[in-house]
Structure 1
């Protein structure tokens, strides 16, 4: 099984050209949504949202806001990974209510942790909280890319897009969200020049330090 995962990671690449005629099945899309939901985040707070765009006209509108990168137009779906505009006390309280409801953990146990977390976030400024949320988002990106490789779904993570214009077009700003990463997913066009290029990496021996 482990060797298959490595083979799949060799297979994946940042797809530059998607086949617009090939669409993800509902089952494949469900796997990606579940991956986003199940990925670890600090304190389990999940200060994130996943926007899924499949409408062709909307994807066409997003392309010029992505510096005319055709992946946004031609991919089966465009996943937009977003952070919350802010984390307040209510957000944290809601998290602990979920913990209590699902795990039946007594309030006497949860309250000290809830109080400490609220105090911790109160002491942070907005820039620190935003940086923390973006770090959580990149955890989900790594998980999504790995699952895409295992499921033989092509993907291309993109930071090159106009976030504020995305947010305005999709109404994300009104939902209290800010887009951070765009991830077109689908299936590669076999004419993509990058398909057969060797993967360039520094190598396991250079990147790994083993301390016995």
Structure 2
């Protein structure tokens, strides 16, 4: 696979074929792409809601802007990327315990203590206010979104990043506040239909010399 060719060929899908579902293998791969997305100091401040059922779509649609409703209705998968409302001590402890379980410290308690201290230091730098912490966590969510978009392309799937929604409505529809979460961004994934006009349009980007500098 040539990654440069892939980024030139993928596009933001504008209409989906509702008759083409995703396979369980495709869903499993997309789940792993999301779960293994990188985050600053491995903070993983997120939760991913994978919506495939009609009941799930019924919850999402009223929280979307009108031009995104049909995309979610017809796409076989919509992912809601949410972040924690607060990066608290319980989460930091859970991260450290999982890293220990996964063998990242090799039984070295000093290494474990050092990793915990370093993460808490950088979390603190980005948590001087609740708003700053939310913005920092949102940036991690967008890293996962990027991985999802490219991951979908590697599976010959189309995708659409969606910011056209009402966060308060979406949070209420999914009960996110009670879970200590808040919605950040949404993406639909599936197979484009014949009505996807964007598929036939040439991709347009600024010239390389305007956006790239090699030093």
TM-score by length of 2: 0.90
Contact residue 75 and residue 186 of structure 1 kept, 8 A: yes
Shift in CA distance, 106/18, structure 1 to aligned 2, threshold 3 Å? same
Question: 1:206: which partner in 2?
Answer: 210
Identify unmatched segments of 5+ residues in structure 2: none
- Which residue, 9, 12, 17 being the options, matches 2:10? 12
Question: 2:88: which partner in 1?
Answer: 88
* RMSD value, Cα: 1.7
Q: Secondary structure of the equivalent of 2:18?
A: coil
Contact residue 50 and residue 79 of structure 1 kept, 8 A: yes
Cα deviations across residues 73-92 of structure 1 (Å, max 9, x unaligned)? 11001100110111112211
Comparing 15-24 with 98-107, greater Cα deviation is found at: 98-107
Cα deviations across residues 42-78 of structure 1 (Å, max 9, x unaligned)? 1112001110111113314422321122111110011
Shift in CA distance, 57/187, structure 1 to aligned 2, threshold 3 Å? same
Question: 1:111: which partner in 2?
Answer: 113
Identify unmatched segments of 5+ residues in structure 1: none
Question: 2:71: which partner in 1?
Answer: 71
Question: 1:144: which partner in 2?
Answer: 148
1:208, CA displacement in angstroms? 1.0
Comparing 200-209 with 74-83, greater Cα deviation is found at: 200-209
What is the CA–CA distance in structure 1 between the aligned matches of 2:52 and 2:200, rounded to whole Å? 28
1:13, CA displacement in angstroms? 1.1
Question: 1:57: which partner in 2?
Answer: 55
